Amino acid sequence: MKQIFVYGSLRKGMYNYERYVKGKSHFVGNGYVKGCLYALKDAAYPALLDGDQDVFGEIYEIDEQVASAIDELEGCHKDTLGEYYKARKIIRTTQGALLELEVYCFSLDYEKNAERLKAVIPHGDFVKYVKEEKKEAI
């Protein structure tokens, strides 16, 4: 078993949570990672880049089978460049503890990823951003 930090489509209430996380993991808690969270022009999931923003997310404990499925989803392969890569980052839990966990980061070296960036999500919370975007579309 290992812990991961998720900030986008794998969070509760998002479309990939149902398929990859729900019933297959143990929720540990909420936390923040330092970075810069972007919306993408062509996708319904965000991109995490290096930065100083507090990006909100959730911590889950998962087994190797779930980890492999999520790696596949994220296009994260051991020996080849993919859409995302895994990096160990410091997570500050909402209780104030510091954890070093794997986080999926957007690879600017992959194909045309840099051109796909739409806008910074200023508050660093993708679920909140999605709800705000739906309100604006009404």
- For all residues of the chain together, what is the average pLDDT? 94
Homologous superfamily assigned to 2-132: Gamma-glutamyl cyclotransferase-like (3.10.490.10)
Q: Which long-range contacts (CB under 8 A, 24 or more apart) does 117-122 make?
A: 117/38, 117/40, 117/41, 117/47, 118/38, 118/39, 118/40, 118/41, 119/38, 119/39, 120/36, 120/37, 120/38, 120/53, 121/37, 121/38, 121/39, 121/46
Q: Is the pLDDT of residue 125 over 80?
A: yes
For residues 92 and 136, the model is more confident at 92
pLDDT band at 133 (very low <50, low <70, confident <90, very high): confident
- Please compute the mean of the pLDDT values over residues 81-98 and round it to a whole number: 95
* pTM assigned to the model: 0.92
